Structure 1
Amino acid sequence: MEREAERYLQLNARLIERLRFEALYRGGSKERVLQVLRGYQNPDGGFGHAMEPDLRGPSSQPEPVEVAFWILDELDAFDDPMVAAACDYLASVTTKDGGVPFVLPTVKEAPHAPWWEPQEDPPGSLIPTASIAGLLHKHGVKHPWLESATSFCWNALARIDETTPYHARAIVTFLDLVDDRERADAEFARLKEAILATVTMDPFAEGEVHFPLDFAPAPLRHLSLFSDETIEEHLDALARVQAPEGGWEPNFLMWTPVVRHEWGGYLTVARLNTFRAYGRSTA
Structure 2
Amino acid sequence: MDIFTAGREFVRREARLVESRLFETVFEGADAQGVVDALHGYQNPDGGFGHGLEPDKRCPDSLALDVEVAFDALIASGARDDDMVRRAVDWLDQAANADGAVSLCSPAVENYPRAVHITDWTYQPDLNPTAGLVGRLHTLGVEHPWRDRASAWCAAELAKGLPEDAHGMHEALEFLEHTGDADFDRIRDWLPKLAHFRADAASPEYGVTPLHFAPTPDSFWRPLFTEAQLEAHLDRLIEDQQDDGGWTLTWEPPGQSSTLAYRGIITVGALRTLKAYNRI
TM-score (structure 2 length as normaliser)? 0.91
Find the residue that maps to 2:224 and give its secondary structure.
Answer: coil
- Residues 119, 173 of structure 1: CA spacing in aligned structure 2 closer, same or farther, 3 A cutoff? closer
- The within-5 A match list for 1:30-179 is 30-118=32-120, 122-161=123-162, 163-176=164-177, 178=178
Aligned residue in 1 for 2:215: 217
What's the CA shift for 1:215?
A: 2.0
Identity %: 33
Amino acid corresponding to residue 156 of structure 1 in structure 2? E
Conserved 8 A contact 1:51-1:67: yes
* Counterpart-to-counterpart distance in 2, 1:244 and 1:232: 22
Deviation beyond 6 Å, 4+ runs, structure 1: none
Aligned residue in 1 for 2:250: 251
Aligned residue in 1 for 2:26: 24
Alpha-carbon displacement from aligned partner over 1:150-171 (angstroms, at most 9, x marks no partner): 1111122122355012112112
What's the CA shift for 1:113?
A: 1.8
Amino acid corresponding to residue 237 of structure 2 in structure 1? L
Alpha-carbon displacement from aligned partner over 1:188-238 (angstroms, at most 9, x marks no partner): 543432234333222131121222112222242256311122112211221
Conserved 8 A contact 1:9-1:247: yes
* Counterpart-to-counterpart distance in 2, 1:255 and 1:124: 24
Amino acid corresponding to residue 190 of structure 1 in structure 2? R
Which segments of 5 or more consecutive residues in structure 2 lack a partner in the other structure? none
What's the CA shift for 1:79?
A: 4.4
Conserved 8 A contact 1:63-1:127: no
- Residues 6, 99 of structure 1: CA spacing in aligned structure 2 closer, same or farther, 3 A cutoff? same
Q: How many residues align?
A: 275
- The within-5 A match list for 1:228-243 is 228-243=227-242
Aligned residue in 2 for 1:195: 191
Find the residue that maps to 1:100 and give its secondary structure.
Answer: coil
* Counterpart-to-counterpart distance in 1, 2:190 and 2:74: 30
What's the CA shift for 1:26?
A: 1.7
Alpha-carbon displacement from aligned partner over 1:129-166 (angstroms, at most 9, x marks no partner): 11111111123211111001111111221223550121
* Aligned mate of 2:182, from 181, 185, 194: 185
What's the CA shift for 1:86?
A: 0.7
Find the residue that maps to 1:101 and give its secondary structure.
Answer: coil
Bigger shift: residues 90-99 or 156-165:
156-165
Find the residue that maps to 1:82 and give its secondary structure.
Answer: helix
Alpha-carbon RMSD across the aligned residues, in angstroms, is: 2.0
TM-score (structure 1 length as normaliser)? 0.90
* Counterpart-to-counterpart distance in 1, 2:102 and 2:85: 16
